[in-house]
Amino acid sequence: MDSSELLTWSVLYTLGGASLVVFYVVQVTKHLIDKFMPQWFTTNMYSVIISFLVLLSATSVVNGLNWSNGLLSFFNAFVVAYISGKQFDEANKEGLK
């Protein structure tokens, strides 16, 4: 990886890269979801959807897309969303709201 690049598809394909991007995207856009979506649509559900889209995009660029990679991206989306939520918990605990 070139040191001048902040983010590459290969980095986005990793757990750390995907969870960090999901963390920031969800934090920046969750107020829109809270405002326009029904009450039952939680931030956790939104985080899983964003995680799936990020992983599906990275998988399609890095490995190509097929049903097996798509299904694996779906399952991994739950892991990425969980890690992203833990990052939010740590940020809240430290007062970085």
Query: For the chain, give me the number of helices (H) and strands (E)?
Result: 4, 0
Q: Which tops the pLDDT comparison, 39 or 76?
A: 76
Burial of 80 (0-12, 13-18, 19+ CB in 10 A): buried
pLDDT value at 18 more than 60: yes
pTM for the model stands at 0.87
The count of other CB atoms within 10 Å of the CB of residue 40 is 6
Calculate mean pLDDT across residues 35-63.
94
Structural domain boundaries of the chain? 9-93
